[in-house]
């Protein structure tokens, strides 16, 4: 047999053994089966396919979609809770004010007064069990501590909503006939006493010419010992009987005199506007 034949036969055996092993496992293709120098290296494209196969599988597994967790629709109040804390934890649109408006019927008029066990409407759909999960762990020492830390800021944020509106600035009046009439009209309005600026002014000018210290010492009232006094010339018994609460007890006080006279005129004539002479 020629020398060339001796070299070709071992080479063919090496290739057949390699092919047999390739059918058993893909990873063995990258290693020589014998120490023979005649073994041929695996093509680069095949090796690349083998080395990247596991990575492709891992990527496909990671790409699988994860079902989103259903958002709760109700929440049961726990110890240490507040509307501000609940709105913050659930990231509710509108904050605690929106949560309060949605649950006002259950909470009541004071948003700061919620109690453990109260069920609040939050958002989302209910779970299959029929009751939405709160999405938060049950009460524990760590959570209680956080609730205590948040309680003070929450109370401060809720204070503006519960605080009463600032009282309006006290109205001022000029110390003259115009100011006295305008102040008297405001007092009369508060007590339901009828009368207008023109009706009061007309009668004052007839009775005293606008002098709050005027006194009548010649008419029948004066003769009887009860002279008429002030802007609208009111005698002491009438002033005492028709005095308007909140005004001075001095019959010479302009506002007290006007309001008492108008109260008397409303009782006798329907209004000071109906008086055009001695009354």
Is the pLDDT confidence value at 138 over 60?
A: no
Is the pLDDT confidence value at 216 over 90?
A: yes
pLDDT value of residue 208: 96
Q: What is the mean pLDDT of the chain?
A: 74
Place of tokens 């709160």: 134
pLDDT value of residue 140: 44
Q: What does the pLDDT average to over 147-161?
A: 52
- Per-residue tokens: 189: 């309005």
pLDDT value of residue 63: 52
Overall size of the chain counted in residues: 279
How many CB atoms are closer than 10 A to CB 19?
Answer: 11
pLDDT value of residue 207: 96
Place of tokens 């959570």: 143
Is the pLDDT confidence value at 252 over 90?
A: yes
Q: What does the pLDDT average to over 215-233?
A: 94
Is the pLDDT confidence value at 169 over 50?
A: yes
DSSP H helices, the chain, are 3-24, 44-62, 83-90, 95-102, 104-107, 141-162, 177-190, 197-207, 220-223, 236-242, 254-269
Euclidean distance between CA atoms 98 and 77, whole angstroms: 17
Is the pLDDT confidence value at 278 over 80?
A: yes
User: What pTM value is reported for the model?
Assistant: 0.43
pLDDT value of residue 49: 43
pLDDT value of residue 96: 86
Q: 3-state class of 31 per DSSP?
A: coil
Highest mean pLDDT, choosing among 36-40, 127-131, 159-163: 159-163
Place of tokens 């779970």: 127
Q: What is the pLDDT of residues 17-28, one digit of tens each?
A: 444 333 444 444
Q: Are 162 and 178 within 8 A, CB to CB?
A: no
Q: What is the pLDDT of residues 82-130, one digit of tens each?
A: 888 888 888 888 888 888 888 988 888 888 888 888 899 887 443 344 3
- Helix, strand and coil in the chain, % to nearest 5: 50, 5, 45
Q: What does the pLDDT average to over 208-232?
A: 95
């Amino acid at each position: 047999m020629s020398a060339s034949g001796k070299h070709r036969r071992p080479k063919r055996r090496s290739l057949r053994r390699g092919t047999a092993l390739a059918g058993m496992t893909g990873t063995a293709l990258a290693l020589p089966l014998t120490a023979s120098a005649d073994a041929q290296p695996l093509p680069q494209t095949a090796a690349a396919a083998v080395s990247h196969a596991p990575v492709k599988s891992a990527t496909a597994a990671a790409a699988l979609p994860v079902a989103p967790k259903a958002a709760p629709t109700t929440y049961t109040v726990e110890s240490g809770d507040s509307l501000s804390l609940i709105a913050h934890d659930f990231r509710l649109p509108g904050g605690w004010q929106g949560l309060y408006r949605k649950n006002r019927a259950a909470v009541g008029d004071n948003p700061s007064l919620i109690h453990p066990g109260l069920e609040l409407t939050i958002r989302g759909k209910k779970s299959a069990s029929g009751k939405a999960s709160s999405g938060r762990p049950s009460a524990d020492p760590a959570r209680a501590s956080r609730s205590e830390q948040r309680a003070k800021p929450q109370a401060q944020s809720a204070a503006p909503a519960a605080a009463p509106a600032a009282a309006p600035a006290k109205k001022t009046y000029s110390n003259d006939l115009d100011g006295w009439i305008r102040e008297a009209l405001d007092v009369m309005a508060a007590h339901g006493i009828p009368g207008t600026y023109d009706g009061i002014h007309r009668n004052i000018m007839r009775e005293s010419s606008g002098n709050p210290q005027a006194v009548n010492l010649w008419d029948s009232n004066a003769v009887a010992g009860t002279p008429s006094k002030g802007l609208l010339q009111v005698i002491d018994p009438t002033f005492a009987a028709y005095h308007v609460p909140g005004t001075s007890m001095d019959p010479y006080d302009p506002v007290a005199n006007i309001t008492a006279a108008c109260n008397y005129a409303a009782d006798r004539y329907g209004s000071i506007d109906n008086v055009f002479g001695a009354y």
